[in-house]
Homo-oligomer: A and B are copies of this chain.
């Protein structure tokens, strides 16, 4: 796997794991229906505890990104979660903070949008293969 954990940062390991898996799905490194390493295997690979991996997997299952089959383990869902009203609210709140912070520091609308655009394009590029 492509997982890289930063043990120095304040962000919990399970949260880093969760984010990197979602980013992996977005850019196509993980394809729909693809099987993920078992909790024990991934835990050993990155040198952490099995329960930490399990926590990340379960959050992703509850959010709809993964499907967990007792016999086969975890795999990427064939149907991705929807843009619910609840998700939209969370997204807007997060963006409001990031934009406010950037705005205070003098970043104009165009600069911010340009960053978002390049990240979107980056994802699309990696999706080619």
Contacts and interface: CB of A to CB of B under 8 A. Distances in A.
A26 interface: yes
A104 B26 CA distance: 5
Interface of A: 19, 22-23, 25-27, 65, 80-83, 87, 91-92, 94-107, 109, 112-113, 115-117, 119-121, 123
Q: Which of A95, A102, A123 has the most CB of B within 10 A?
A: A95
A36 B91 CA distance: 29
A105 B92 contact: no
Give the interface SS of chain A, mostly helix, strand, loop or mixed: helix
Given A19-B97, A98-B94, A99-B123, A104 B81 contact: yes
6 contacts: A22-B104, A26-B104, A83-B102, A94-B94, A94-B98, A116-B116
